[in-house]
Chains A and B, each alone.
Chain A
Amino acid sequence: MIHELTCIGCPLGCALKVETDGAGAVVSVTGNTCKRGEDYGRREVTAPVRTVTSTVAVTGGKEPVVPVRTRTDIPKGKIFDCMAAIRQAKVQAPVAIGDVVLADAAGTGVDVVAAKAVEAR
């Protein structure tokens, strides 16, 4: 089976063709212009992943919310579980970039970390 994808690895947006066999295993990736594209093609048809970014409420800070991100990609199917956990989270100012805001988000094994510093009020 041939899967036609647009690579999201970078803004070039290469048009990928990923061929899989009857068992769903990747046979080939074509159309990519870099290694990142090949990795994306392979993952996307087997176990797609995404980085989730959002905000978390801050108490006692100069700003009401702090932007956060999953430190690395998480399974695409876990995005909304991860968002539910992020929405419940709160963090106390001051916050530094990289501070763990939520450990092991939604059982993904990936931490949610602060993407910006917020000073205490």
Chain B
Amino acid sequence: MKREIVIIGGGPAGLAAAIAAKEAGAQDVLILEREQELGGILNQCIHNGFGLHTFKEELTGPEYAARYIERAKALNIPALLGATVIDLGRENGALTVTFVSRSEGLVRMEAGAVVLCMGCRERPRGALNTPGTRPAGIFSAGTAQRLVNREGYLPGREVVILGSGDIGLIMARRMTLEGAKVKCVAELQPYSGGLKRNIVQCLDDYGIPLKLSHTVVDIRGKERVEGVTIAAVDDHLKPIPGTEEDIPCDTLLLSVGLIPENELSRQVGVEISPATNGPAVNESLETSIPGVFACGNVLHVHDLVDYVSEEAAQAGRNAARFVAGEIGSASDDSVKLIPGGMARYTVPVSVSPRRMAEQLTVRFRVKDTVRGGVIRVLVDGEEKLRRRRPVMAPGEMEQAVLKKEWFAGGEKQIEIWAGKEE
């Protein structure tokens, strides 16, 4: 069996990629989704705030997903549900996708192009080396979100949240609305990892304290969590003796980071960027393996689904162009993109001026909070763009738009520089 384009994952990235591929002329697009319905993580993100960019209105996660699911249906894009991809490989130059499902069994197919849309996973407790016992009542924020919003269970009554990522902030409000008492949100860094609007509408609105530069140094309880100890940390993020505070609680939620889910990408040998934990992609969002594209949270963790949809549509269109033989193999005129100043990474990592569209959005994050900042684009040292940014924070993705007209050929390097205006 051979399919033209296989999309791995039916969340926001997979849906937008599939729709764009089909609209760009691909005949045979298949979505493989391991859950029993499309929509991915949006199905448990019941809060509003999605779609301002795309639809100019504030939707909840399920409403945002429904718009794309309807569009995919209207375009007759098939989706296999309950289908878990277990292997991505290459044989005699062709890409192979192997999945298992209850209805189809074990299936192996060839694919003309593959779009990786597997999203990301939460960093677990084990990755934190937090001391203490191992009682019930410790959840990742996303697990708690699923329990409350999809299964109808409230996983605790007295809650401490470690980490101020957006899911943790959203869950602080959600648990409060459902009658739980959220005692505080402790954040290791001196800044929040979440969006400012979520600090306001999820913590400030409900009088939930945000303790910056604090972490959990002990978890107590045998069967169930009975309390945690939090302490202030110094500039090196080490707990400061004498600042410990015991907080009785029955639940600890962890919102301590998201990691792109690239097990399949690694299997097929896609080159992974150590800065993002996602594939290193070129201007077409194509990975180091021709015909394998990546977008959404599997590529780099986004704050906004609107940008995921935009990025995924680009990947889908490029996959369609690839199978139609319109973009050919990676070109030899590639210019390296490098992050400069406070910029931590760039997506993509290289640009072929020949293959790029008239404009290309480069996304990146800063390493630390920058006030009175500026974003500069330098092509071989020559400043092509300079844009003021009053505040930049690691929790909020930044972008710079490159123009095809900047390149005459033979350029060596594009620097995306972010930092304080000198």
Contact = CB atoms under 8 A, between A and B. Distances in A.
Contact of B48 (A53, A57, A76, A116): A53
A28 B133 CA distance: 54
Contact of B63 (A8, A80, A87, A115): A115
Q: Name which of B197, B199, B304 has the most chain A CB atoms within 10 A of its CB.
A: B197
Contact of A13 (B48, B151, B195): B195
Interface string B152-196: 100000000000000000000000011000000000000000011
Q: Name which of A5, A10, A15, A53 has the most chain B CB atoms within 10 A of its CB.
A: A53
B177 A83 contact: yes
B385 interface: no
A13 B196 contact: yes
A117 interface: yes
A115 B197 contact: no
Main secondary structure of the interface of B (DSSP, over half): helix
A67 B396 contact: no
Contacts of A64: 150-152
A6 B205 CA distance: 12
Interface residues of B, number: 30
Contacts of B391: 15
A69 interface: yes
B175 to A, nearest CB: 12
A11 B149 contact: no
Interface in A64-83: 64-65, 67, 69, 76, 79-80, 83
A115 B196 contact: no
B58 interface: yes
B251 interface: no
Contact of A53 (B47, B52, B151, B205): B47
13 contacts: A6-B199, A8-B197, A9-B197, A11-B52, A13-B200, A13-B396, A51-B58, A55-B148, A55-B152, A64-B152, A69-B60, A97-B62, A117-B66
Interface of B: 43, 46-49, 52, 58, 60-63, 66, 148-152, 177-178, 195-197, 199-201, 205, 303-304, 391, 396
Interface of A: 5-11, 13, 15, 50-55, 57, 63-65, 67, 69, 76, 79-80, 83, 87, 97, 115-117
Given A8-B200, A65-B149, 18 more contacts: A5-B200, A6-B196, A6-B200, A10-B197, A51-B58, A52-B177, A53-B48, A53-B60, A54-B177, A55-B148, A67-B149, A69-B46, A69-B60, A97-B66, A115-B63, A116-B62, A116-B66, A117-B66
